[in-house]
Every structure is written in structure tokens, then in C-alpha cells.
Amino acid sequence: MFELTYQMVLTTIQTLALLVGIIYYITIMRNQQKTRELALQSQELTRKAQEQQLETRQTQLFMQLVDTYVEKGYRTTALEMLSDKWSWVDFDDYLKKYGPDTNPEAWNKFQLQLSHWSVQGFLVRDGLLSAENIWSWWGWVPRSLWEKFEPIIVEYRNRFEKPPKGMLHGSFEDLYYDMLDVQEKFRENFLQQELPNRIEKRKELGLKPIHSLA
């Protein structure tokens, strides 16, 4: 009888010990899970804060560039260069009209435009500036400038740049590709969201339709 009682007590103790161990293990695992969840939440909050800081810095930098571009007359120069006032037959004709020896003022304007957009290309490439912001404000300006002066830039590279050719104002060229890519994204967003929203809003307000999805 004593041995049976002793065995029952021992079994009960072992069972209780096992249960305590299981409960302890579950508690530890839950605490670790909560710790991991809190760590992940903290990381997410930190990431969002960093993204907001980056967006703020990008906006500030972009507005500084906009102010500089306008105040120093770069925008007026760009529009002038895109007009028919600047025209040529080929590269040699361009140098006769706007080259550093024959027309240093025009050549300086040309170089300032290339440098300005090349710098913005560097900033976009390094993630310090948003290509979307540039497109929102100036998209057609750098795009059109590159398209008009690309033959001049390419020929200048071919004639005067040391190998590997193509590095001269390469960041401006890269910015041009970014503008084409962003332009397509903006176009898709306009057709899929903005335009339908405008059509629906005019319909709700009882205004005469002026848009069409066709």
C-alpha cells in the first residue's frame, strides 16, 4: 500500500513537473514571439520615418533646384533653345552658329543646360531625387532638350571624347530614359484613374462632358 501510494505521488509530481515545464516553455515562446513582433513593429516605424525624412529631403532639394532654375533664367534659356531660334543643318553648322569660338554666349547657355540636367540625372540615379517629381514639373523640358540636342551631343562624343565614349553627359541621357519611363507611368495612371474620375465628377455635378475615354 505504501509503495503504491508512493508511486502515485511520484507520478503526480512528475506529471506536474512536466506540465510546469510545458507551461514555462509556452510562456517563453509567447514572450519571444511578442518580442519579435515588437521588434518588427519598431523596424517598420523606423523604416517609415526614414522614408518620410527622405521624401522631405527630396522635396526640399527639388524645390531648391526649381528656384535656382527659374531665378537664374535657365528655364527661359531652355525654352529659347527649344524654339526655332536655335536651328542647324549638321554638327559643323551647329559649331559655326553656336560653338565656343563663334558664339561663346550661346555655347555657355548650351553647357549650362547640359550641366544642370546632368546633375539632376546624378541625383535621380543615387536616389536623392525623385524622377516623378522632375516629370511633374519639367518632364517635357529635359526630354525635349535631349531629343533636340542628342545628335550634337553624340557627335561631340564621337569627335572629341576619349574612350570609352558615351560618358560625357551620360547622366543627362539616363535622366531622359527615366523621363520616358515615368511619362508612360503617368499616362497609364491618367487613363486608368484620373480621367475616369474627372468624367464621373462632371457627371455627378451635372456638367457638360468635355472628356472621353475613347
86/93 Cα distance (integer angstroms): 11
Percent of the chain with pLDDT strictly greater than 90? 43
Q: What is the dihedral of CA 66, 69, 70, 76, to 10 degrees?
A: -140
In degrees rounded to 5, what are phi and psi of residue 59? Answer: -65, -45
59/53 Cα distance (integer angstroms): 10
Percent of the chain with pLDDT strictly greater than 70? 69
* Alpha helices, DSSP H, located in 101-213: 104-125, 131-138, 140-160, 170-189, 195-204
166/154 Cα distance (integer angstroms): 8
Assess contact for 153 and 118: CB atoms under 8 A.
Answer: no
Return the pLDDT at 139: 80
Residue listed under C-alpha cell 517629381:
133
Query: pLDDT-based confidence at 212, cuts 50/70/90?
Result: confident
Assess contact for 74 and 116: CB atoms under 8 A.
Answer: yes
- Region 179-204 average pLDDT: 91
Query: pLDDT-based confidence at 174, cuts 50/70/90?
Result: very high
105-164 pLDDT, tens digit per residue, is 999 999 989 998 998 899 899 888 889 888 888 888 999 999 999 999 999 999 999 988
- Region 84-88 average pLDDT: 96
- Region 10-24 average pLDDT: 61
Res 71 pLDDT > 90: no
Helix (H) or strand (E) holding 160: helix 140-160
